[in-house]
Each structure stands twice: as C-alpha cells, then as structure tokens.
Chain A
Amino acid sequence: MSYIDLKSPPKREDRLKACIAHGGTICEMAGAKGKKSCLHDDGDRAFTQGSICLLLPALAMLNSLPDNVVLLHSAIGCGGCTHSQNANVRFGGSVRWGKVKDGIWISTAMDETDVISGGEDKLEQAIIEADRRYRPFSITVVAGCVPGIIGDDIDGVVQRVQPQVTAKLLPVHCEGFKTKIWATAYDAVYHGIGRTLLREGEQQSGENGLAPFKGLERLPRTVNLMNVSSMGRIDELELERLLRSIDLDVNVFPVFTHPENMVKATQAALSISTCPTHDDYFLGYLEERFGVPSIIRHMPIGIENTGLWLRDVAARFGEEELAERIIEQEERELKEALAPFRKLFEGKRVFISAGEFRALATARLLEEIGFTVAGIRSFHHDKFAEVEYQKLAESTKEDYVIDIADVQPFEEANLLKKLKPDLFLGHANGNGTASKLGIPTHVIYNTGLAYIGYKGVYEIARRLHRQLTNPIYNRKLSENVRLPYSDGWYRADPFSYINTRGGVAA
C-alpha cells in the first residue's frame, strides 16, 4: 500500500523529516562540519509568532481551478485568505483566457451547534446545494481544523453524497494543527487529485502495466510542467519558451487546469518540477501508476540553475547539444543585458527569506548579478535542499547565517538589526519587518511578476535596480514607526528561543 491509498497523505515531518526550527550557517547546512543535513531532531520555540497553515497554499491551488467550487468545511474564518488569492484567480484567468472571473468559494461556517453535534449532515447538504446552484465540474471539499478535531469523516460524507450529485467530489485534508510543515498542502491537493481524477485502474494496461489514462495515448514530446501556484503566467511562458526551444510541447499542471483535462498529465513523456518543495509526492504517483518519469532537482531561478534545469530535461530527450547551444546564447545575451545594472549591485549585502528552495535559488541568482549574501531564512528544511546549500557554500567567500523558521519575524528583526543588510527579499506579507527597519525591500514571490528563467533574472535585476535607485519610502518609514519588540530582545541571541528536544539539533 502506498501513501495515495490512505485517506489523507502523511505529514512532511514524518515523510521527509522536515523541520522548522533551527539556527545555523551556510557551511553547517551544507554539511561541511559533518552534520546530517536533514535535521531529524527538530527544535521547538519557546516563543512563536503566527504564520500560515497548509490551508493557504492548498487554497491558492484549488481556487485557480476553473469550473470548480471550493467548499470549506470549517469555521467561518478559514479561507479568508482567498480574498487576496482571488486577485491571482482574476489576473490568471485574464492572461490565460481573456476572461476575468472571481473564484467560487463557500464555507459550511461551522458554529457551536456543529461543534457539539458534528458537522457531517451540514456538509452533506452543502455539497448537494452547491452542486445544484453552481453546477460545477468538481467540488473540492476542504477540511480545516474543526472537523479534524471533532472527528467529522469528510471522506465518508463524500462517498455517501457522490452518487447524488453531478460534480466530482475531491476531499482535501487541511487540518492546520496536524502539521507544522505547510508544504504538506501540495501533497494534500495532489492526493485529492490523484485519488479522484487520476484514479489508478482506469488506465489501459501497457507492456509494463503503466500507461496513460484510458483512451489516451502517450505523447513522446510532451512534458508536464508542474506549477502549484508559485509561478505566474509570465514565468510559465518563459519556461515554455525554453522547453519549446528543445522541441518539446508543454502541459502546465495543475493550476488553472480544468479538472476534466487533468488526465492529460498521464500522457506526458516526462514531468518536470521547478521546485522540489512542491511536487515530489505527486511525481512519484505519476511515475508509479502511469509510467510518467520525472525530474525534480534544480529550480530554474538564476543563470546557472536555469541552465542546469534545462540540461537535465534535454538529456532525457537526447537534446544535450542543442541545449548547450541555447544556453550559451541565452547566457551571453543575458550577461550583456545585465551589465548596466551590476554597478549598483556590486558588493551590496542581501538577506533572503522564502520557502526553502526559492530562497536558496534566489540567493544564488543574487550572487550572480553582483550581490553578496548576508543571510537566509528558509521557511522549513528537508533533504531536497542539500544540493542548494552546497552550491551556496561553494560560492560564498564567508560563512553566513541560516535561519530555519516558519517566518518568525522576531528572529529576523534581531538578525537584521545586527547584520544591517543593504537589501531584503521576502515573501508576500513578509517584507514589513525589514521595511520598518529602513532596509530596501523587494517581494520574492508575486504571480504577476517575472522571476523564472533567463528573462526572470533580467526582470529581477531591473526591479532591484529600480528599488535601490530610490529606497526612501522605507527609510522615512523607519524614522517614524517602530517594530513591536523590546530593546532587550535586540541584544539577545537571535536563536535563544529555540529549544532542542532530546539532544542536539545541529
């Protein structure tokens, strides 16, 4: 029995031994001191700030699916994040199909009565009514904390109601208190897709029993480009451009994909991930059950990494020489285009904060365009990132701090006060701390902006040049507002609230 046969996927702290609490350095993380790079013995913090849970990234994916209703089974607040994600739904629809449309999300809004007597009946009725009112192709039934804690069986409800409704029902488990690694979200959504829309046993048997979904054929030059919402259309286009240049057709999966068309993913000759934090769970499934091999190694952010990413793909199709020619030309053109920006960047120290792989790949990119890395915060850590820490450990002249933290801006504020970097790149809703300290800032992820591939490097450089040309907004802000931390905190060790259980973490 594999994971997909379970009702819900395992949490990543179990499956990948992922962790969120560690203070270290780049050399240490790269294993230079003989440390196990996967921190099996995760720490706990005696002080924590709120962050997100797996529900947020899961909804970012689910809300993008056309002809789908997101039905939240939880208290009324869960899913409020959709109000900002809806901007991506509207923009994403507009750039892909020329149509602006709000996502449809609804909530069973569980109240005190539901908590006491159970919410299964309400959920059942909600599914039936949503099916009749919106007539969607699919309804994703997303469980938050409350059903998880009172023991509602959403899979049971879905099984019971499915024969009464037209829409396909996908249960997705997002009980926030059950995992501290929010990247489990990707597994949760993929799990729902795998078990419902790409069910094993519905394919024709090939020679080895592995074949595309029934009635479909293998497409020898088509690749799945996995996107869990970390890339906007502009980034997809850049990767499509590169993949087409080695003569491949691209099937973007799963964001903004009509659920009915998801079966196409089983036809591809190869699945390509752009981020090992995202896709390993599902790539394994596609490979095991449908015979679609995969690549999950480099993230195409930065010059070197984009080349490595493209080379990996080209090698699978015997297009190594063609790829080398393309990479050579792309790099030559890009380096020439970057030259006017470099002067402003040269020697400036930068602190980077984001999901682990994105932070590390972006750090490498920033080195390539002239910056020096002063520190990195990764939102979690797992074994996939070892290779990236090693790349950075090799390229840096000096050791620097690595903070493994599910955001925790108090550690960041402490570090930034001490490090005084010239630039900070942070995730959405994650640039406020640096801004209030007067440090020039730029957002490291926004689906309307370009980050990926060669064009992404150029666009990031262009935007950073713009930010650094006039960073006065943050400076004035810092002169007039303050962060909510005590003076004593800035004098303390930034990692003094990390406790390690059962011995050493490092």
Chain B
Amino acid sequence: MSEHFIERPRYVCALGGATATITALPGGIPILHSASGCTGNFAWSQNGGSGLQVGGYCGTLSIPSSNVQERDVVFGGDARLREQIESTLKIMDGSIFAVLTGCVTEVIGDDIKTVVSDFRAQGVPIIGAETGGFKGNAYWGYDLALQALFRDFLERGVAKVKKSVNLWGVVPSADPFWRGNLEGIRNLLEALGLTVNSFFLAEDTIDGIRKAAGAELNIVVSHVYGVEAAKAFEEMHGVPYLSVPLPIGASASEAFLKTVSKVLNLSDKKVRAVITREKRAYFRFLEPMTDCFNDLDLQRYAVVVGDANYATSITKFLADDLGWLPELTICTDPLKDEEKQRLVAQLDRLESKYSPTLVFETDGSRAVEHLQKKWPPSSGQKYYNAFSPAFVIGSSLERELAQAIGAPHLSVSFPVANRAILDRGYTGFRGGLRLVEDVLSTVIAGR
C-alpha cells in the first residue's frame, strides 16, 4: 500500500456512490451540484465495472447537474443551483430529489443546506448531502446519501410495525451484484415472516421508504457500508440496528437467520423450520455434484481479492462450505482500524478452523508479493509444494494475478468488466449455489 497514491481505484468518489444510491431509489432523481464531467465519469465507470449495468431510471447522462463553471467558482454557485432545482422540478418526473455536491462547489463553500430547506419548506420531496469527492469513496458516499435520506425524507414519529425491518449494506453499482444480493437476503428475511423494506428493489416503494422509521430493526449486511447511517438512524428515529457480514452460502445464511431471529425474538421453531427447508433444498442440489467434485479433484487453493463485503464473506464461504483453502484474502478498500478489526474478527472464527491470511492492500498489483511471502516461488527444487491447483476470485483487474500464478479466475468484486450481471447474486443459500456454479464452471471451461 502506498501512502501517496491508490492504484487503479476500485470505486469512484463519495459523489459517485451517492449518485448511484439516489438513482437506485424508486423515482430517485439526483441533482448534482458539481462540475459537468462528474456524471459522465460515473457512467463510464459503471460501463466498465458494473457487469454491463449503467444507470437506471434517472442515471448517467440523464442526471440533472448544475455543471458549474469558472465564473461560478468566482461568484458562487447558489443562484445557479436554485435555477437548476426549479427547472428540474418542471422537467423531471421524480418521487424524490437529492442535491449532491461535488468537489468544486464544496471547496467554494456553496450553502446547499439553505437552498434545499427552502424548497422542502414548499413541500418539495428534496434532500441534500455534501458528498464532495475528496470526502471519501463511493462506499462512504452511499452512507452519506442514506444519512440524508433518513434525516430529510423519512417521516418522524411513525408508529412501530412489528416484524418489519429495513435492509441495507449492499451498495448500488459499486457491488455489480447489488440487486441479486439484496434480493437473496430479502428472500431469507421474508421466509422468516418479516416485512422488508430494502430501498432499491422493484418491490420497494417510495411510501414504504417514507415510513421506514416504523421498522423494528435495521439490518446492515456489511461491517462497513452504511454502518454510520445506521447509527444516525438510531439516533434520529430510535430504531436499533444489526450489522452482520454479507451472508454468502449455507453456513453464513444459517448464522444470519439465527442472529436476526434472536434479536427480533422470533420463535425458534419458525427459524429452525426455515433453516431445515433451505438446507434440505441446498444439499439436494449439491448432492449429485459430489462424484465429479471428487473425480475431477476440484478442491483448490484460492486468493480472494475484494471489497469489505466480499473479501471476507467469500473467503468464509470457500473455507466453511466448499472446503477450499483460501490462503490469501486481500481487502482493497481503504478502511479505518476499527473497520479492519471487524473483518479480522469475521475470519478469526471459521467453522473449518482454517486460518486465511487477511491483508489490507489498496493496490491490486501487489497481490503477488503478498502471496509470495506465504508461498515462496520455486527455486527449481525437485520436490516443491506449489500454490497449485489454485483459483483467483477478485475483480477483473485480478486477471493479471491469475495469469501470473497460472490459475483460473472469476470476477465478483468491482470492477467486473468481463461478466454480464442482471439478477444474479451470491447471498443466501441459493447464492452459495450460484457461486459454486460460477467458480467450477470456470475451472472446467475447457473440459
């Protein structure tokens, strides 16, 4: 990791994350108060990294943006922003509008809070967030956008509804499998008899979101993404939150269901019934693969490279469900120490007792060096315990690593340039099956 730069950053900025988050809301219209190129940059980034998904209802180059210029830098951009909001309300058809600031307008100190509250006072469903790119990456922008949503849009004092929960922690576009992943978890929660508001899926409505403060619990399926927003939610609306790892596959999903039902005091019987049913189906699907799994010797060493959701959760799945040996796990997000500790703890308690090496490294090209520390390269000796057969799960940038160590490779974490992704997800019991299919299909592609 360099102190001075980040190599091939695997995320855009806070503004980019916030923009994708608003676009993903039902009828969400972002209004960028930024330079003209920000939206285009996000569009091109999604084009190359989000598994062929770009934009949405109001995404990419359709996004209203004040496109501030040099004269606004000199004279301030408030007047331009007011004009832009007024015209946006006439032209765009939306359920929620969100003013999001970029680097330029934040450095010059434009006061969006006053502008936004003036419009809100007139009854416009509008929120505002300060998401200048220098404040952090897309994951932090997601958190900031959610904080603004919870603060400025959610009705306060709504009656609590038993067995209703809000779900977040999977970041639109930044996780190319965001829709499938949210759906997989939503399905798990619904199986428990819960009513779920997941903000970003076709099932979610703007009215449901407005009443989100009536939930009994907020479930954040991430150790990092959206956690600060959950704290803010609790402060503002008195709803507690649960932060759990992204549940990929059978073991993690079972643990997830148990944790959620314990917190919500659901009946043990109900939870056990759901787990039994799901596991039965899971192993019915898995059972006939067993011969080929053995005959083709499909156990692998693995390197997992990913964001803070995927790096550890995929590692756990490989170690605790598939029986692979994920020797090296690299998390490419720049994280705070406390966030790192949460990821470390997740891999400290593996059921398989396997202990992977977890490294925090933003620069993907250093993966080979980290691997060689643990698995030194051959010096031509007759008997050599090689890192082979191996597999690389990472982003599409890990194709270079895979090539260097002669291993097959699957892109899962952003950027995913070489896969088409629509409703696919890896969460839940079924998500684990999807991951096994995708990984093994890659291994046997030449068969």
Contact = CB atoms under 8 A, between A and B. Distances in A.
Interface of A: 46-56, 71, 74-87, 101-102, 104-112, 114-115, 122-123, 125-126, 129-130, 133, 145-146, 149-150, 176-178, 180, 182, 406-407, 409-410, 428-430, 432-433, 481-489, 497
Interface in B74-118: 83-84, 87-88, 90-94, 102-104, 107-108
A112 B106 CA distance: 11
B44 A83 contact: yes
Nearest to B418: A87
Given A50-B40, A177-B70, 5 more contacts: A75-B103, A77-B42, A81-B41, A126-B2, A484-B29
A82 B48 contact: yes
Contacts of B54: 429, 432
Interface string B1-45: 011111111011111100000000000010010111111111111
A50 B36 contact: yes
Contact of B39 (A49, A129, A182, A430): A49
A363 to B, nearest CB: 21
Contact of B13 (A48, A76, A430): A76
Contacts of B87: 46-47, 497
Interface stretch (B129-137, B275-283, B306-314, B420-428): B129-137
A104 B364 CA distance: 11
B397 interface: yes
Contact of B4 (A80, A125, A177): A125
Contacts of A46: 83-84, 87
A77 B107 contact: no
A97 to B, nearest CB: 16
Contacts of A87: 48, 417
A80 B12 contact: yes
A129 B104 CA distance: 28
B329 to A, nearest CB: 22
A433 B62 contact: yes
Contacts of B68: 177
Pairs of residues from A and B, 9 with the lowest C-beta to C-beta distance, nearest first: A53-B37, A77-B13, A50-B39, A84-B48, A52-B40, A75-B133, A83-B48, A80-B45, A50-B65
Contacts of B5: 71, 106-109, 126, 129-130
Contacts of A486: 90-93
B408 interface: no
A145 B34 CA distance: 10
B166 interface: no
Interface residues of B, number: 74
B88 A47 contact: yes
Interface in B48-65: 48-49, 54-55, 57-58, 60-65
5 contacts: A85-B44, A102-B397, A145-B103, A176-B37, A407-B61
Contacts of B93: 484-487
Given A52-B36, A53-B40, A115 B107 contact: yes
Contacts of A182: 37
Contact of B138 (A51, A77, A104): A77
A378 to B, nearest CB: 16
Interface in B383-412: 397, 399-400
A51 B36 contact: yes
A1 B245 CA distance: 62
A482 B69 CA distance: 31
Contact of B61 (A106, A126, A180, A409): A409
Contacts of A111: 134-136
A56 B64 CA distance: 19
Contact of B65 (A48, A54, A123): A48
B61 to A, nearest CB: 5
